[in-house]
Amino acid sequence: MNTLVRIAPGALELGRPLPWNVYDANGNVLLRQGYVIQSDNQLEQLFERGRFKPRKIERPQEEIVEDHRQRNPFADYADLLQTLEATLNAITDGDPSAQKRLMGLTRMIERTCSEAPDASLALVHLYSIGPTILEQILFYAILSQFTARQFGLDDKRTSVLIAAALTANLALVPVADQLNASNKLLSRTSARSSANIRNGACRHCRRPASTTN
The pLDDT tens digits for 63-115 are 445 556 677 888 888 889 889 999 999 999 999 999 999 999 999 999 999 99
Contact, 162 vs 113, CB < 8 A?
A: no
**Whole-number Å distance between alpha carbons of 66 and 59:** 13
Rounded distance, CA 94 to CA 89, Å?
A: 8
pLDDT in tens, 133-157: 888 999 999 999 999 999 999 999 9
Which residue in 167, 124, 128, 129 sits closest to 146, CA to CA? Answer: 124
Who wins on pLDDT, 171 or 58? 171
> Residue 1: its pLDDT value, please?
43
- Give the pLDDT confidence score for residue 211 in this predicted structure: 40
Q: Which of 110-124, 176-190, 193-207 has the lowest mean pLDDT?
A: 193-207
SS3 202: helix
Q: What is the mean pLDDT of the chain?
A: 77
> What was the pLDDT predicted at 181?
55
Instruction: Indicate if the pLDDT at residue 197 is higher than 90.
Output: no
Residue type, 92: T
Note whether 167 and 205 are within 8 A (CB): yes
Q: Is residue 185 predicted with pLDDT exceeding 70?
A: no
Interacting residues of 19 by C-beta distance below 8 A, sequence separation 6+ = 33
Domain boundaries, the chain: 5-52, 77-212
Amino acid at 52: F
Q: Name the phi and psi angles at 132, rounded to 5.
A: -75, 170
